[in-house]
Amino acid sequence: MQILELTCRQLRDKIAGGEVKSVDATTAVFEQIEKHDRQIGAYISTFKEQALAKAKQVDEKIAAKKPVGLLAGVPIAIKDNMCTTFGATTCASKILENFHSPYNATAVEKLLAADAVIVGKTNLDEFAMGSSTENSGLKKTVNPHDFSRVPGGSSGGAAAAVAAKMCFAALSSDTGGSIRQPASFCGIAGLKPTYGRVSRYGLVAYGSSLDQIGPLAKNVEDCALLLDVIAGHDEKDSTSVDEKTAPVRDWLSAVNNKPQNLKIAIVPELFKGADGEVVESVKKAIEIYKSSGAEIIEIKMPHFDYAIAAYYLIATAEASSNLARYDGVHYGHRTKNPADYIEVYSKSRDEALGDEVKRRIMLGTYALSSGYYDAYYLKALKVRNLIRSDFTAAFAKADCIVMPTSPTTAFKLGEKTNDPLQMYLADIYTIAVNLAGVPGISIPCGFDKNNLPIGLQIIAPAFAEEKLLQIAMLFENKTDFCKTAF
């Protein structure tokens, strides 16, 4: 048995049953990191000693027949925009390069309470702003399936780590597609839960009304298992929804139930924007659903095409406000020898923030500034309402909407870095989901002629993760497209 080939669920069960030691799984993960991460660059930091100590502790608990958590002994990675009291929390930004959080994010606390072994923290586009991880201020990450291509973004490090078997799953975040698009590019599964499903406490804020934490994993079942661990209300996050409105379920137990009378909506018009091979794979996936009894309904989403424009006003406006906290005063980089107190802010920020982050702060500041607020920010919020109404109308007719996750497979490093707008347009299929606050998952559905993975996106109504996971599982059970590298 190859330990690294196991899924989280399989590994957890084998560890709990005494068949595999967590120490051996953890050792295998670190051997894999030592072998491959110099080339792939997925991790910003790793915690070998701490991880092995935790693994040993779990093994001892199990040997002593003491109760253990849902992820006991399973090595997991964390995107480096979630606060941890161990190691640094950098957001892949020079401004936070040496920042050590005094507290853990709630989702991290929940992983620890579930007895997961934390492997390390993964690379991302600086402050999660980007679609290729090329905006990282600290290092480069490549796609494990083709080192000349991007892993996607912003969670490129997390997706690459899972795909290269340098962890068994990762905790990640999604503001406009940052979980789903890298999942698609790296051939794995990625779930963005409903906004409010998982506490954002300790997730470094980018676009607060859009950010949501979710799992990147080898398959759908593991996404369900991780959601079981991280979901739920948190008194420290007033936007985490109460459990009467959004009951936490045992998604892992429910995931294999076949959804009954399944109705799937497709938006034929949206297929025009994607590469031929992507469209072909997605259409084949739809045929697989059809042949397993689902009814396919063609719909229109007339406002979908406006999502990118609305998003890049709303997200940047929120970012310009959220990133005002990097002031060189309380934590993070401070400029040497400022002439006055204004320069403490303006020089510290200019020296330590990257291009894309500055660009978004600038755009957001402009969209919120006097004289432009109504024309840009307010207009975008109204369009957001129209976009949500498209989803509401779709879900009145169908259980879910199916479309590509990304219009292309993984593109070449450097291909879009000089033209920010072209990079933004690559997010066409994922962004509307965040604006509407609904859950979405990307699962592998094929390969292009270069053998690069293609992702299928499934979108469900708010708080319908159970059905969403079941629909994704139905496809996974009939196919074999999940693909790790090496």
Partner 1 sequence: MDKKKINIEQVKQVAKLARLNLSEAEIAQFSTQMSDILQYVEKLDRLDTANIEPLAHCLPVSNCLREDIVKPSLGTEKTLANAPDSDGQFFIVPKILDEAGGP
Which residues of this chain interact with partner 1, rule CB under 8 A?
98-100, 102-103, 195-196, 209, 235, 238-239, 241-242, 245, 303, 306, 308-310, 312-313, 320, 324, 327-334, 338, 340-347, 349-350, 353, 355, 358-359, 361-363, 365-366, 369, 376, 378-386, 388, 420-421, 424, 436-438, 462
As measured in angstroms, the least distance from the Cβ of 59 to partner 1 is: 33
Distance of CA 376 to the CA centre of its chain: 28
The 3 state secondary structure assigned to 432-461 is HHHHHCCCEEEEEEEECCCCCEEEEEEECC
Between the alpha carbon of residue 231 and those of residues 1, 223, 379, the distances in Å are: 32, 12, 33
Measured from the CB atom, the residue of 45 and 184 that comes closer to partner 1 is 45
Rg of the chain (C-alpha set): 21
Q: Characterize 78-104 residue by residue with b for buried, 16 or more Cβ atoms within 10 angstroms of its Cβ, and e for exposed.
A: bbbbbbbeebbbbbbbbbbbebebeeb
As measured in angstroms, the least distance from the Cβ of 127 to partner 1 is: 14
As measured in angstroms, the least distance from the Cβ of 242 to partner 1 is: 7
Measured from the CB atom, the residue of 277 and 415 that comes closer to partner 1 is 415
DSSP 208: T
One-character DSSP codes across 264-292:
EEE-GGGGGGS-HHHHHHHHHHHHHHHHT
Measured from the CB atom, the residue of 103 and 147 that comes closer to partner 1 is 103
Reference 127, options 364, 455, 377; nearest CA is 364
Residues sharing a CB contact under 8 Å with residue 369, sequence separation 6 or more, in sequence order: none
Reference 181, options 391, 443, 387; nearest CA is 443
As measured in angstroms, the least distance from the Cβ of 235 to partner 1 is: 7
At residue 67, φ and ψ (nearest 5 deg) are: -65, 145
At residue 52, φ and ψ (nearest 5 deg) are: -65, -35
Measured from the CB atom, the residue of 165 and 333 that comes closer to partner 1 is 333
Active site positions, annotated? 79, 154, 178
Measured from the CB atom, the residue of 26 and 132 that comes closer to partner 1 is 132
Angle at 184 between CA 80 and CA 2, to 5 degrees: 80
As measured in angstroms, the least distance from the Cβ of 381 to partner 1 is: 3
As measured in angstroms, the least distance from the Cβ of 246 to partner 1 is: 9
Query: CA 115 to CA 265: how far, in whole Å?
Result: 39
Measured from the CB atom, the residue of 227 and 313 that comes closer to partner 1 is 313
Q: Are strands 400-404 and 263-266 parallel, antiparallel or unpaired?
A: parallel
Measured from the CB atom, the residue of 27 and 335 that comes closer to partner 1 is 335
Residues sharing a CB contact under 8 Å with residue 182, sequence separation 6 or more, in sequence order: 133, 151, 152, 153, 154, 155, 156, 158, 159, 160, 172, 190, 216
Residues sharing a CB contact under 8 Å with residue 215, sequence separation 6 or more, in sequence order: 169, 170, 171, 172, 179, 190, 191, 222, 223, 226, 227, 230
Instruction: Please answer whether residues 227 and 211 qualify as being in contact, where contact means their C-beta atoms are separated by less than 8 angstroms.
Output: no
Instruction: Please answer whether residues 154 and 354 qualify as being in contact, where contact means their C-beta atoms are separated by less than 8 angstroms.
Output: no
Measured from the CB atom, the residue of 28 and 248 that comes closer to partner 1 is 248
Q: Characterize 9-27 residue by residue with b for buried, 16 or more Cβ atoms within 10 angstroms of its Cβ, and e for exposed.
A: bbbbebbbeeebbbbebbb
As measured in angstroms, the least distance from the Cβ of 475 to partner 1 is: 27
Q: 203 in helix, strand or coil?
A: strand
The one-letter amino acid code at 291 reads S
As measured in angstroms, the least distance from the Cβ of 369 to partner 1 is: 6
Measured from the CB atom, the residue of 43 and 326 that comes closer to partner 1 is 326
As measured in angstroms, the least distance from the Cβ of 338 to partner 1 is: 6
